[in-house]
Amino acid sequence: MTEITINEAQKLVDEWINTTGVRYFNELTNLGILMEEVGELSRLMVRKYGEQSFKESDKGKELGDEMADVLWVLICLANQTGVNLTEALEKNFEKKNLRDADRHQQNEKLK
């Protein structure tokens, strides 16, 4: 598969939802699902990079797959609420570049 842009991802998710998935879950359901998926990612990160040990139920789980699950549901929410994630990310970069231009460079904790 070739690289997918964010716009293409939004279109592909929408196409999949409206064919294979039948329809979108409502926005609040998808918000709950997003929180579940973030929790699964968190659990795996804590076990891989934190101090908790792996449990039998953690075996076979991959960070990339858990991150993709988070991204999928976030894209669903963006599609449902009319957010163009490419435009939103571009605006977010602008905001961060203005607000945080020197902030992190001057943070002694990061040196």
* CATH at 51: 1.10.287.1080
Structural domain includes residue 21: yes
Q: Which residue has the tokens 């409206």?
A: 18
Asked if residue 103 is part of any domain, the answer here is no
Dist CA 46 CA 40 (whole Å) = 10
Number of domains into which the chain is organized: 1
The answer to the question of residue 100 being in a domain is: no
Question: Is the separation of the CB atoms in 45 and 23 below 8 Å?
Answer: no
Q: Flag whether 97 is in a domain.
A: no
Write out pLDDT tens, residues 21-44: 999 999 999 999 999 999 999 999
Q: What is the largest CA-CA distance in the chain?
A: 52
Question: Would residue 110 count as lying in a domain?
Answer: no
**What does the DSSP 8-state code read for residue 51?**
S
pLDDT, tens digit, for every residue of 71-91?
999 999 999 999 999 999 999
Residue 20 domain boundaries:
6-84
E strands present in the chain: none
Domain-embedded: residue 90: no
Residue 106 lies in a domain: no
pTM of the model: 0.89
